Structure 1
Amino acid sequence: MRRRALVGALALALAVAGLAAGPMEPARAQAEEPCLQPQPLIDGSGNALVERLGLEKAWQLTRGEGVTVAVIDSGVDADNAHLQGAIAGGQTTYTVGPDQNPSVDPGADLYGHGTAAAGLIAARPIDGSDVVGVAPAAKILSLRAFQVASTEDQQNVGPSAASVANAIRIAADRGAQVINLSLSQATPSADIQGAVEYAQGRGALIVASAGNRGTSEEDAEGVRYPAALDGVLGVSAVTLAGEWDFGASFAGEHVDVVAPGQALLAPWCGGGDTGLGEQVSASWATAVVSGIAALVASAHPDESPEQWAHRIMATALRTTPDARKDTIGWGEARPYEAVAFVDDGGVPGPESPVHERPADVVIDRSEIRIEAPRDPLAGAREVVAWTLAGGVAVSLTALVIGRLGARRPIRRR
């Protein structure tokens, strides 16, 4: 499959590194060919993510119109056909030193990570290609926090805490409702925390990676930042079949939801399409959830970022209705259910930010089991739809996608 292993490796190299101590490590894998080498369109096999998430149904309600998603990353290739009309501007935030030779154009992406993330969020459909974003009418604000050390050999230096924090503040000032951070670190940063709080105060929802195991110098269990900060929606990855992979993902209280992060289709940074690899990556899952957040924000512009996040968590598919797990958080995010959700405080799961839970709610705490073979989504969608339509707090059903973890209260500011 076209570049699946390559781009997957690049994503893993990016997703977890030490921002607080300085720049992220350079990528552990480099492009075999220049990123500017165009690739063919991928057509004929369909887009499995569209089916997995039930996007066709969600798009009947909204396609993300009126929402800007800031992608703080390696830049976004604004010339890719899938992103024509999608770019709402861009800026480079990396501080340039005297011995560095950066490309300061946020519309140039020699690495590919930012273009892929932006495409998963808001790629426009084009003839002859199966690539399409979760919110194909949303806008992308490209904020390049990466430094390019050499345009000759395509070497990249990752973002610093300062460049990421600066980008978050710029995104907020430019009116981004959703801010995508497909990166993480094991230690907190005062600069990033301050920027996150600033953006939240200006009405932005921060969606951040919960990290990838095996690509950080610190592989020990523990929370990752900024996903662990209050009010940030922390995202881990599952396979395209909905299975949590211990070898790829970190578990912890910073995980709020999961989404597929494997074998996805996205725009290529030199033109055309690419496959994003069989390795499960939280970078891609984070972009998927940012796309879902864009759909929610578009359909409910008068709600707060905390309410948008609650919609996504409350309607995620999970095995036990009122319990989160350190592996998958509140479950696998679902766009239609999040958009259609009516919050009266009574749905089992995370507490509503605006409604108290009714005293007479009865919650079925028995674990739901799904027997194979069967459509893993059919029963889940039926039960969720019934729950939403009836307004009765019964059970949400889900795919068994992870191990049981400790329940924690929802993080609130």
Structure 2
Amino acid sequence: MPVHWYGAVALALVFVPTPAPTRPVTCDPEPGIAEVTGTPWAQERLRFQRVWRLTKGEGVAVAVVDSGVDATHPQLAGVVTRQVDLTATDQRDCVGHGTAVAGIIAGRDLTSRGVPVMGVAPAARILAIKQTQGQSGDVSRLAEGIRRAADLGADVINVSVQAHDAPQLKAAVTYAQAKDAVIVAAAGNVKQEDGAVSPAYPAEYPGVVAVGSASPDGKKSDFSNGATRISVTAPGAGVTSAWTGGGYRTGLDGTSFAAPFVAGVAALVRARHPDLDHWQVKRRLERTAEGGGASGTGAGLVNPLQAVTSVLPATEEKAAGAAPVVLARAPVPDERMRGIALGIAGGAVGATGLVVFLALTLPRGRRRGWRAGNTAIFTGKLKS
């Protein structure tokens, strides 16, 4: 069963099985650029750095089931803790796609070196599961990659691939979810040649966080597949990230690059709320998103700060697999109402004081027959 990999590199390409190589594999990825100037719009929009005082994703393992990851990239050095090659080639990322995805999820903060690009959860660990070499692969290997990620203890699994529904793929998703992995998958892109759309898998499977693409104006990107049942959206147009070979790529388009932003936020949530199961993490991402309602946008744009800090009722936090819940959010301060409240509080204090005063003085007045007492009144002069 062929699958389609959606991103700037391999849009709507059909995957076919790749036999084990009998000679050295050519690995000649398209080069990136040496440096990036200016903060990428996705970072300015999501502002995930606001969460870092609480968590950067410490202790969370995120699997990238993709084309491999360049573990020597400066932003990923020490971040990639495990590499698995299912293609019988080697561990190198000969395309760049997997490296870009990993960079969005957990790229190190190198602003001290003048690098404005960074990942959502820079303290998370990356498990690189290479399931495609070049522009080829098959659904059985994709399923194997998801299973392998679950066996390695991945807390979050990012799948920036679209495939057709297949028994082995569905079984792999169910297997990973049984191990409590949060699966985040790209919703897929509209096929440019005919505009035909159909639900993308594994994004369409129950419990999977399906991610659509948002453009800089906040609206759904034209290429984002609205036929898939969308959970949330994330920046997926004009994205900047790390690229294999040590450089960077700008202008990356595709739900492939929207999904890792959400996978990074899921890592932050799992680090901050380790007791939540994968269903609860999914609901939290959805219920804290913003601007939903339009076709193909699901609950709206993922909101890292709300996803991490919003408070769920205790009963809902324990209800695994329960219906969606409404999160308690901090109210917006209203200065006029604040003034009224302070006035009321002040009046209440004054009234209480008056009651106490009368309670003390009236009985004494009755005992004296309402005659003046002997208490001296201070006039401002002291006798020598």
TM-score in terms of structure 2 length: 0.75
Per-residue CA distance 1:110-139 (angstroms, 9 max, x = gap): 100000000000000221211100111111
1:92 Cα deviation after fit: 1.0
Per-residue CA distance 1:133-171 (angstroms, 9 max, x = gap): 011111110000012xxxxxxxx2322111111111111
Q: 1:66 to 1:346 in 2, by over 3 A?
A: closer
- The answer to whether the 8 A contact 2:213-2:254 is kept is yes
1:165 matched residue in structure 2: 143
Post-superposition, which runs of at least 4 consecutive aligned residues in structure 1 deviate over 6 A? 355-358
Q: Does 1:308 align with 2:267?
A: no
Amino acid at match of 2:54: L
Using the TM superposition, name which of 237-246 and 285-294 deviates more: 237-246
Unaligned segments of structure 2, at least 5 residues = 19-26, 333-384
1:218 Cα deviation after fit: 7.3
- The answer to whether the 8 A contact 1:256-1:328 is kept is yes
1:222 matched residue in structure 2: 198
1:99 matched residue in structure 2: none
Report the Cα distance in structure 1 between the residues aligned to 2:186 and 2:59, rounded to whole angstroms. 24
Using the TM superposition, name which of 284-293 and 248-257 deviates more: 248-257
- The answer to whether the 8 A contact 1:71-1:179 is kept is yes
Which of residues 88, 97, 110 in structure 1 aligns to 2:94? 110
Q: 1:17 to 1:346 in 2, by over 3 A?
A: farther
Which of residues 158, 161, 165 in structure 2 aligns to 1:188? 165
2:382 matched residue in structure 1: none
1:56 Cα deviation after fit: 2.2
Identity among equivalent positions (%) equals 34
Which of residues 237, 260, 266 in structure 2 aligns to 1:287? 260
Q: Does 1:386 align with 2:382?
A: no
Amino acid at match of 1:142: A
1:344 Cα deviation after fit: 2.9
2:69 matched residue in structure 1: 76
More helix by proportion, 1 or 2? 2
Amino acid at match of 2:242: P
1:54 matched residue in structure 2: 47
Report the Cα distance in structure 1 between the residues aligned to 2:324 and 2:298, rounded to whole angstroms. 21
Q: Does 1:233 align with 2:209?
A: yes
Report the Cα distance in structure 2 between the residues aligned to 1:16 and 1:157, rounded to whole angstroms. 10
Q: Counterpart of 1:40 in 2: which secondary structure?
A: coil
2:179 matched residue in structure 1: 202
Of the two, which has the highest radius of gyration? 2
Report the Cα distance in structure 2 between the residues aligned to 1:197 and 1:123, rounded to whole angstroms. 29
- The answer to whether the 8 A contact 1:236-1:258 is kept is yes
1:189 Cα deviation after fit: 1.1
Report the Cα distance in structure 1 between the residues aligned to 2:182 and 2:199, rounded to whole angstroms. 19
- The answer to whether the 8 A contact 1:76-1:118 is kept is yes
Q: Counterpart of 1:274 in 2: which secondary structure?
A: strand
- Number of aligned residues: 316
Report the Cα distance in structure 1 between the residues aligned to 2:67 and 2:301, rounded to whole angstroms. 27
Amino acid at match of 2:52: W
Q: Counterpart of 1:276 in 2: which secondary structure?
A: strand
Report the Cα distance in structure 2 between the residues aligned to 1:345 and 1:160, rounded to whole angstroms. 43
Amino acid at match of 2:48: L
Q: Give the 5 Å matches for 1:2-401.
A: 11-12=7-8, 14=10, 16=12, 22-23=16-17, 34-35=28-29, 37=31, 39-43=33-37, 45-94=38-87, 96=88, 103-105=89-91, 108-126=92-110, 127-147=113-133, 156-185=134-163, 187-215=164-192, 219-246=195-222, 248-277=223-252, 280-318=253-291, 324-344=293-313, 353-354=321-322, 385-386=330-331
1:357 Cα deviation after fit: 6.2
1:352 Cα deviation after fit: 8.3
